[in-house]
Structure 1
Amino acid sequence: MKPILTLLATLALLTASLRAEIGLISPADAKALIENPDAAKRPIVLDTRGGYKDYFRGHLPTAHHINFDTLRGTDHAVPVQYLPEDITRALLLRAGADKNRTHIIYATGEKLPNDEILSASMVAHVLEKAGIEDIRILDGGLPGWQAAGFAPTQEYFGNPTGSLPEKGHPEIAATIDDVLAEKDQPGVILVDARPQNEYLGQDEIWLRKGHIPGAVSFHWARLMASDNTHKFKPFAEVKAELEKAGITPDKKVICYCGTSREGSLVRFYLAHVAGYPNVRLYEGAWKEYVWVKNKSLPAETTAPTVK
């Protein structure tokens, strides 16, 4: 009886502290929620990894697999664009996304160059845009879960059909027209979340080289622990770095990257870890910017002076 009472007391404390919000959750707190004796109050756990065999090898208990890349596709020749709202909602409902439940999102692959944490932040962005307001990224991911002494499972888990809010939050996304209209306005800063070699055009990836003129470089990995790229650094550890780059909470921040995954992590961190009040993600990203307007939009290959 005593372990059950202890669990109930822990859940009561979590319920008081984890009100509907978006942020991080520790492995221990996630485990307590997953093991809630009341199944109706357990979280929706989403394994966002692109490798389905990784899910088969082991995942969090009650985790439903949703491959992050099923939420994107080619549109008007531009690859990996976010899908139309009706298709996205259908996929989220199929994954069990529910307006009345907490969502715990995670992936794995703790060391660079592995970047699967970006899958988690991308899915978190899609859920938030759809109107879900109770989202937690598992701090440390599956490696953190195992390091805490918690075992993964190989048992499949499928969520029942979910229930989404009628209204979403489209305001967290920026379009190409938003970027072009606002990028040179006072108080607006564009943040390029890619590695610096891509920012400077020293890569073999992109049709055109460089970055959106005026954008500052801040690689997403600078926000993560060096020994686990799924573990977020406390804001106090990166505050000075962000300020040096000119990324401050008084500005309107537009994050972007190559395909919108890296940018989604920087946006998540600024908005939901650092608490910046006005942060958006340019979803089209560099892949769109270099193609639209008949490839005529300007690009830079040198870093601007931070004002």
Structure 2
Amino acid sequence: MFNYAHPEVLVDSQWLVDHLNDPNVRVVEADLTPQAYNTGHIPGAVFWNMLTDLLLPDYRINFDPIAWEKLLARSGITNDTTVITYGDFPASGAWLFWLLKVFGHRDVRVLNGSRRKWVTEGRPLTTETPTIVPTQYQVQLPDSSLRAFHEEVRESINRADRVLVDVRTPQEYSGELFMIEPPKETERAGHIPSAVPVYYELALNEDGTFKSIKDLQALYSDKGIIPDKKVITYCAVGGRSGHTWFVLKYLLGYPNVQNYDGSWNEWSRLPNMPIDIGLG
């Protein structure tokens, strides 16, 4: 697939069709609501609700190993299962990839084009909820090397050898929106000083597949996001930035990329953290 640095982490729809009955393959669809899943999902796919399965009530990512062991076990996933990730939300598949890698799962792959391309191609869908036999799963402790924390992010502001990448919409970056709505009361909108804005969906073609390695290299290098620098991605809650982390680390092969999963949800609420507004 376009000579990506790690092409094995992507599967196309035909590969998945050929492996739908493979007992060692588990497909996971993740979204904010089960609406799309309930109207028709890939046969055998289990559903993970981002708000209740992956996030805590304060919108921080749930990194509790016990909670993850229970989620994976009830999803019929063992430590040796090949997990294929996708969703209606464009960032779903790559975010799940990052999350599963944080907990040490060995074989995770992203469905290239996600739900959008699967449906467009007329691939099989079902409304039947699969019967899952629970498994035993043992997660590793979260791998902190894949994550950035706010102290390190603050130290990275205006560093020549580092680059912060804001993957949110221009409206979020400029401060017009806080998360998904205009800021109110004490909410602080804007972006981390020196952060470079690159909306995460710019890495995708119209059909939802990832752009070629040539196009991706141009997209990021033109913004000064190059392999020689340490790269830290962020968004609102760590999901969209997990998508860009995946693109940079696994498709382009950047050696030093971290996802600041606390993202704007955390940064904007920490006292005395610097914030810039505007697009310039």
Matches within 5 A, 1:250-289: 250-289=228-267
Per the alignment, residue 127 of structure 1 pairs with 100
Matches within 5 A, 1:153-164: 153-157=126-130, 158=132, 160-164=134-138
Using the TM superposition, give the Cα deviation of residue 80 of structure 1 relative to its aligned residue in structure 2, in angstroms: 0.4
**1:250-290, CA deviations, whole angstroms, 9 ceiling, x for partnerless residues?**
11100001121111111111111111111110011011101
Contact 1:97 1:164 in 2 (8 A): no
Distance in 2, Cα, partners of 1:235 & 1:162: 38
| Greater length-normalized contact order (CA 8 Å, ≥ 6 residues apart) | 2
The structure where helix makes up a greater share of residues is 1
Contact 2:216 2:252 in 1 (8 A): no
Gaps of 5+ in 2: 1-5
Per the alignment, residue 268 of structure 2 pairs with 290
Q: Indicate the larger mover: 282-291 or 98-107.
A: 98-107
Please give the TM-score of this superposition, normalised by the length of structure 1: 0.80
Per the alignment, residue 136 of structure 1 pairs with 109
Q: What code does the residue aligned with 2:60 have?
A: Q
Q: Do structure 1's residue 80 and structure 2's residue 63 form an aligned pair?
A: no
> RMSD across aligned C-alpha pairs, in angstroms?
2.1
Matches within 5 A, 1:118-197: 118-157=91-130, 158=132, 160-197=134-171
Please give the TM-score of this superposition, normalised by the length of structure 2: 0.87
Distance in 1, Cα, partners of 2:122 & 2:85: 19
Q: What code does the residue aligned with 2:264 have?
A: W
Contact 2:190 2:275 in 1 (8 A): yes
Contact 2:92 2:239 in 1 (8 A): yes
Per the alignment, residue 212 of structure 1 pairs with 192
Identity %: 27
Per the alignment, residue 299 of structure 1 pairs with 275
**Higher CA-based Rg:** 1
The structure where strand makes up a greater share of residues is 1
Q: Do structure 1's residue 243 and structure 2's residue 221 form an aligned pair?
A: yes
Using the TM superposition, give the Cα deviation of residue 302 of structure 1 relative to its aligned residue in structure 2, in angstroms: 4.4
Indicate how the Cα distance of structure 1 residues 167 and 72 shifts in structure 2: closer, same or farther if over 3 A, else same: closer
Q: What code does the residue aligned with 1:80 have?
A: Y
Q: What code does the residue aligned with 2:223 have?
A: A
Using the TM superposition, give the Cα deviation of residue 50 of structure 1 relative to its aligned residue in structure 2, in angstroms: 2.6
Q: Number of residues paired by the alignment?
A: 266
Distance in 2, Cα, partners of 1:168 & 1:288: 19
Matches within 5 A, 1:68-107: 68-69=50-51, 70-74=53-57, 79-86=58-65, 87-107=67-87
Match for residue 30 of structure 1 among 16, 21, 24: 16
Distance in 2, Cα, partners of 1:178 & 1:89: 29
Gaps of 5+ in 1: 1-19, 109-115
Using the TM superposition, give the Cα deviation of residue 21 of structure 1 relative to its aligned residue in structure 2, in angstroms: 8.4
Contact 2:150 2:260 in 1 (8 A): yes
Distance in 2, Cα, partners of 1:218 & 1:60: 31
